[in-house]
A and B are shown apart, each in its own frame.
Chain A
């Protein structure tokens, strides 16, 4: 429609910011919160959430609103949504290995199951998704395929993040080979390596 076109030009001329909800998805311990914290620290100076080596540290969706990112000549206003890790099993006994007692482990498992359900429910409410994978692990898992398949079915742009490239066994190429249909950005959320490339990719592919 001509009016919509005109409105688009006016918005462009007056520098109207693009607003998106950016969801960070992936299996547990892929480094989603570390990456979300890095993005948030870079642009707001404050983190999103706590990080832990115990799986399922993020058990509810953590939000950081009004994150203004400038990349590739564009300005994006993002609501960062750090999702709980998606898994097909949550065994409280796995948490005992990290020093939790039985009561704590059971409580963590119960909260984690709710977190998985919440992350799934949010799938239809994000505008762009970062699917975060540990570059040191086999990317061709059913969980990764299920997440990406659901995003594709909803026409939500997917950017795959090959995270933890600071680790010596990281292999980002293996991720690109597994998912050739989507852009893959190799980064370290921990050290910040290649993070600018990720911002450029978000600016380019977000809708």
Chain B
């Protein structure tokens, strides 16, 4: 079975509000794709993603595996200013369907993913 990976640029996501972003992600995950986003979802977006996922759980789609890396900043003010000016503090997010991801291990500076049909 082929595994399809989709790398998504930060510009694609920047145009979307919260709901659109979740729909964009879950529509692809449900097509058995593994997404690599060029940004780290915020904690609020992560819970929104979990909520949206739970609403769609079925026999065929039991859920997702997700992990992200956040770029470290030197503190609140710099990060606040970057976000205020519409920027991002970087990072990345890996999301895939739990049926396909055998293991996703998160470490502070890397994410290890093992995928295949279970």
Hey, which bits of chain A sit against chain B, CB under 8 A? 86-93, 106, 109-110, 113-114, 116-117, 120, 123, 138, 140-142, 145-146, 149-150, 152-153
The list of the 6 closest CB pairs from A to B, nearest first, reads A89-B63, A149-B43, A91-B62, A89-B98, A113-B54, A146-B46
Interface residue count on the B side (C-beta < 8 Å):
25
Q: How far is the CB of A113 from chain B (nearest CB, A)?
A: 4
Q: How far is the CB of A91 from chain B (nearest CB, A)?
A: 4
Q: Please give, as numbers and ranges, the residues of chain A lying within 8 Å of B53 by CB-CB distance.
A: 88-89
B3 interface hit (Cβ, 8 Å): no
B43-A89 in contact (CB<8A)? no
Give 26 CB contacts A-B under 8 Å.
A86-B50, A88-B50, A88-B63, A88-B65, A89-B53, A89-B63, A89-B65, A89-B98, A90-B62, A91-B63, A110-B57, A113-B55, A113-B57, A116-B50, A120-B50, A120-B51, A123-B47, A142-B66, A142-B67, A142-B68, A145-B106, A146-B43, A146-B46, A150-B43, A150-B46, A153-B44
Please pick, from B43, B57, B107, the residue contacting A153 in the complex, using a CB distance under 8 A.
Answer: B43
Q: What CA separation (Å) do A90 and B98 show in the bound complex? A: 9
Q: What CA separation (Å) do A123 and B47 show in the bound complex? A: 10
Q: How far is the CB of A150 from chain B (nearest CB, A)?
A: 4
Q: Please give, as numbers and ranges, the residues of chain B lying within 8 Å of A120 by CB-CB distance.
A: 47, 50-51
Q: How far is the CB of B56 from chain A (nearest CB, A)?
A: 9
Q: What CA separation (Å) do A123 and B108 show in the bound complex? A: 25
Main secondary structure of the interface of A (DSSP, over half): helix
Which one of B54, B59, B65 has the greatest number of beta carbons of chain A within 10 Å?
Answer: B54
B64-A88 in contact (CB<8A)? yes
Q: How far is the CB of B22 from chain A (nearest CB, A)?
A: 13
Q: Please give, as numbers and ranges, the residues of chain A lying within 8 Å of B57 by CB-CB distance.
A: 89-90, 109-110, 113
Q: 0/1 per residue, B89-118, Cβ < 8 Å to A?
A: 000000000100000111110000000000
Residue on A nearest B54 in the bound complex, by CB: A113
B62-A150 in contact (CB<8A)? no
How many A-B Cβ pairs are below 8 Å? 72
Residue on B nearest A153 in the bound complex, by CB: B43
A116-B54 in contact (CB<8A)? yes
Q: How far is the CB of A141 from chain B (nearest CB, A)?
A: 6
B23-60 with Cβ < 8 A to chain A: 42-44, 46-47, 50-51, 53-55, 57, 59
Q: What CA separation (Å) do A142 and B54 show in the bound complex? A: 16
Q: Please give, as numbers and ranges, the residues of chain B lying within 8 Å of A150 by CB-CB distance.
A: 43-44, 46-47
Q: How far is the CB of A102 from chain B (nearest CB, A)?
A: 10
B51-A92 in contact (CB<8A)? no
Contacts A88-B63, A89-B63, A90-B62 given; indicate if A141 touches B106 (C-beta within 8 A): yes
Q: How far is the CB of A60 from chain B (nearest CB, A)?
A: 14
